[in-house]
Amino acid sequence: MLFRDYLEIPCGLRFMFDTLQLLSSCGRNRLLDSQLMVSKDEVERAISLLKGSYEKLYNDVTPQVSSELAALKHRLMCLREIEGTLQRLKKDVVLDDIDLFEIKYASLLAGYVRAGVENLGLEGVNIPDLTDAVKILDPDGMKIESFYVYDSYSKELGRIRAEIRPLQAPDMAGKQSDRLLELLEKERLLERDIREELSKKLKKRSSEIRAAINAMGDLDILLAKCLQVKTMGLCFPTVSTDGNTEYKGMFHPHIVEIYRSLAERYSSKAKEFTPIDISFGRESVTIIGANMGGKSVVLKMCALNQLLFQFGFGVAAKECKIDIKEDVKVCIGDEQNETEGLSSFAGEVRAIERVLESVRSGKCILALIDEPARTTNPIEGTALVAALLNILRGKNLSSVMTTHYNVPGEFFRRLRVRGLKEGKMDYTLVPTSEGEIPHEAINVARSLGVDPQWLSEAEKILGEDN
């Protein structure tokens, strides 16, 4: 699947994309149309390129590196899409002056960017050499970015233009001489022939021109990813070789940013996000805990970081080792769809069914499911969750799901949110056993200032039940 296909998953990828400081529409479109990497070699190359580039640009930076980087970014801001022009070239259309200007500008830009990459010592960034294309469109070697059908393309064209210049002033009657009109027509025909010849020459180099533009778009993405690593404190992941995924100090950049913004708005100390440690293999893991215990956020972080990893970004954790998946399936939030007449339960079941379809197809996926069957009664809900875990048992996938239900069985791993501690919520995850379900809803409600009488009555009923 493409990057753009994952953007609307409620995990925070949209935030990462919106805050990525891309400089060109070419870079933006290249990223949106990039494929989820599923090859170990491809992922490792992307991580190595990101890490190596980051070290060159942001570790022990000298003023010269900062200056070169600023100049390179300024050049990339001038990068434009010219696919339409290249398509016309492919179809043997004779290019006009605007088309030829676009190719000349892109070719000159590729030379400047190529030099900038060499000056910064960025290894693994290869901008094709378009010197031949520049020579075709800049025969005098002036390196002027605008295009003109130069006299040097044809001696006859130079002679005709020399004759035209003194004749261009109109006569007393405001008319141009017949000789001038004849010369202007000859000039037009010669320019047409020259443009046709230039188009033929450039067609032979169209693949190199396209490759250079794509490479500059990829460089734009790479520089933006490096800056995001620096500003957000992301890490460089390791590719797992044993099927296990392990995160230490995992966090959610969007929530961290929200906390920071609130602190700035109200001139207060920023609330700290609790980093999470979690590991899972090709198995099912359940997370239990009270409402407001951060269970859904854990799923969002797992989804976000898996996607960041397989699209070559830095990962939001202190350190991590991640297993490559063929797809990421996320069922989080209210799946109600009024336009299709689906209730929350029906929409939720449909979403989980799509997960099962992927599993049955044999894909190795990461499935993240938030409180399945939460909108039905607890007896049937528990049965549905247990059945789902049983179906996923032994399959070639990793699944992490949250639940309030006491689901029986020993064939999956259980974690729970540590919960309230000295009046504050501790979001860290700890192992738990079958039958252990947190009873913290009343305490959480009390911390929110809920009506004391209501809570007192609830505690009285719980006492009677016990």
Quick one: angle between helices 178-203 and 83-90, nearest 10? 90
How sure is the predictor about 338, in pLDDT bands with cuts at 50, 70 and 90?
A: very low
pLDDT of residue 76: 98
Measured between alpha carbons, how far is 172 from 174 in angstroms, rounded to an integer?
A: 5
What would the pLDDT profile of 237-285 be if each residue is shown by its tens digit?
999 999 999 999 999 999 999 999 998 888 888 788 889 999 999 889 9
Secondary structure of residue 279 in the 3-state scheme = strand
Q: Which residues contact 463 (CB under 8 A, 6 or more apart)?
A: none
Other beta carbons less than 10 A from residue 40's beta carbon: 12
Q: Give 3's DSSP letter.
A: H
User: What is the rounded average pLDDT for all residues in the chain?
Assistant: 89
What's the pLDDT score for residue 1?
92
Question: Does 113 score more than 90 pLDDT?
Answer: yes
Longest distance between any two alpha carbons in the chain, whole Å: 114
Bridging pattern class, strands 424-431 and 413-421 = antiparallel
- The pLDDT of 403-428, averaged and rounded, is 78
In the prediction, which pLDDT does 168 show?
81
Check residue 289 and give its pLDDT.
Answer: 74
Distance CA 373, CA 384 (A): 7
**Average pLDDT over every residue of 114-127:** 96
Q: What is the pLDDT of residue 337?
A: 44
Q: What is the DSSP letter of 34?
A: P
- Which H or E run contains 243? none
Q: How far is CA 424 from CA 137, 254, 439, 458, in A?
A: 69, 22, 15, 22
Q: Are 320 and 248 in contact (CB under 8 A)?
A: yes
Tokens in use for 182?
């004849």
**421, 447 contact by CB (below 8 A):** no
Q: What is the Cα–Cα distance from 133 to 135, expressed in whole angstroms?
A: 5
Which residue type does 164 have? I
Residue 341 has pLDDT above 90, yes or no: no
Kindly give the residue spans of alpha helices, DSSP state H, lying in 141-205: 155-164, 178-203
User: Tokens 């469109």 sit at which residue?
Assistant: 137
Q: What percent of the chain has pLDDT over 90?
A: 66
Say how far apart CA 7 and CA 157 lie, in whole Å: 55
In this structure, what is the dihedral angle of CA atoms 92, 129, 25, 79, given to the nearest 10 degrees? -100
Token digits for 330? 């996320």
DSSP H or E stretch at residue 173:
none
Check pLDDT > 60 for residue 334.
Answer: no
Overall average pLDDT of the 214-238 stretch? 98
Q: Give pLDDT tens digits for 52-87.
A: 999 999 998 899 999 999 999 999 999 999 999 999
Q: Give residue-wise pLDDT tens across range 145-168.
A: 999 999 999 999 999 999 998 888
The pLDDT confidence band at residue 291, using thresholds 50, 70 and 90, is low
Domains of the chain: 3-221 (1.10.1420), 235-465 (3.40.50.300)
Transcribe 288-352 into DSSP letters: E--TTSSHHHHHHHHHHHHHHHHTT--BSSSEEEE---SEEEEE-S---BGGGTB-HHHHHHHHH
Average pLDDT (96-113) is 97
